[in-house]
Each structure stands twice: as structure tokens, then as C-alpha cells.
Amino acid sequence: MTFWRLHYHIIWTTFQRERILAGDREKMFYGVLYQKGRELGLTVHAAGNVEDHVHVVVSIPPKIAVAECVRQIKGASAFAINHMPGGNGTFQWQGGYGALSIDERSLPAVMAYAINQKEHHRKDRCTPIYEKSDDEGGASGEM
């Protein structure tokens, strides 16, 4: 078996940063995240969100590219949210994402940061580098 320790903090936003990821949509996202994580062989260490973006702390095996992992989670979660009862089929994610590699020693702190997203934003105590989801801040045709 191959030995690997590849930990990432991945951030992505709703399309045009619409503040719509709450309630049943939020619950659906987490259900899909953990199900897709099992399918892909990921270790989802922690996740958190506010209404317009998500943070996922995950270990990704070397056989899967980070971009492919994000593509699959974003695609499956958007599909599921759009097919929820009463959904209007217009939910989508922004094109880009942010991905930061993290070392083993930093893992607990980054996990806590992700889990406590709502509190960080409510108290305006966000860490700027942990909030970047793309270089431009706008929509992208990629991903």
C-alpha cells in the first residue's frame, strides 16, 4: 500500500456569491460531501460554511487530482440541491476554487477554522488567505 499524507483546505463559493446555502440546501451539501468523499476514498476531516461559501478540510489520495475531487463534489452537490423537492433547479457554484496544502501539525487548527465558519464571519475574524476562492473574485468558465 502506498503511504501518503496529502491534506488540503479547499474553499469555493456559490455563483455570484448568492447567500443561499442554508437550511435544507446546507444539509444536502453535507450529505453529498460525505457520500462523495466515501466514493472517492477521501478523508473529510472537517467542513463548514456560511450562506455564500464552503470550507472543506480533506485528505485526497494521490491517485485523484485536487481539481477532479472538487469537480466531483461541486457537480454532485449542485445536482442534488437542484433536484431537492421544491427546488427551482437554479443552484450553481462559482467556477473557481481555492486550495491550500496544509501540514500535519496545522491540521487541527485548520479543521477548527473550517468548522467555526459562522462564528468567524459573525465576529469578522476571518483569516484572509483561508477565504480566497479564486484569483479574480469573479465567475470563471473553468471547473
CATH at 36? 3.30.70.1290
Is residue 138 included in any domain, yes or no? no
Task: Give the whole-angstrom CA distance, residue 45 versus residue 54.
Answer: 14
Task: Give the whole-angstrom CA distance, residue 4 versus residue 17.
Answer: 34
Is residue 65 included in any domain, yes or no? yes
Is residue 141 included in any domain, yes or no? no
Which letter does DSSP use for residue 14 in this model? B
Task: Examine the pLDDT at 91 and tell me if it is beyond 90.
Answer: yes
Q: Give me the mean pLDDT over the 99-117 stretch.
A: 94
Share of the chain above pLDDT 70, in %: 92
Q: Give me the mean pLDDT over the 12-39 stretch.
A: 96
Which residues neighbour 1 within 8 Å (Cβ) at sequence distance 6 or greater? none
Is residue 143 included in any domain, yes or no? no
Q: Give me the mean pLDDT over the 60-85 stretch.
A: 97
Is residue 97 included in any domain, yes or no? yes
Is residue 50 included in any domain, yes or no? yes
What is the span of the domain harbouring residue 65?
A: 7-131
How far from 75 is each of 18, 71, 92, 104, 130, CA to CA, in Å? 17, 6, 9, 29, 22
* Predicted pLDDT of residue 128: 67
Is residue 2 included in any domain, yes or no? no
Is residue 78 included in any domain, yes or no? yes
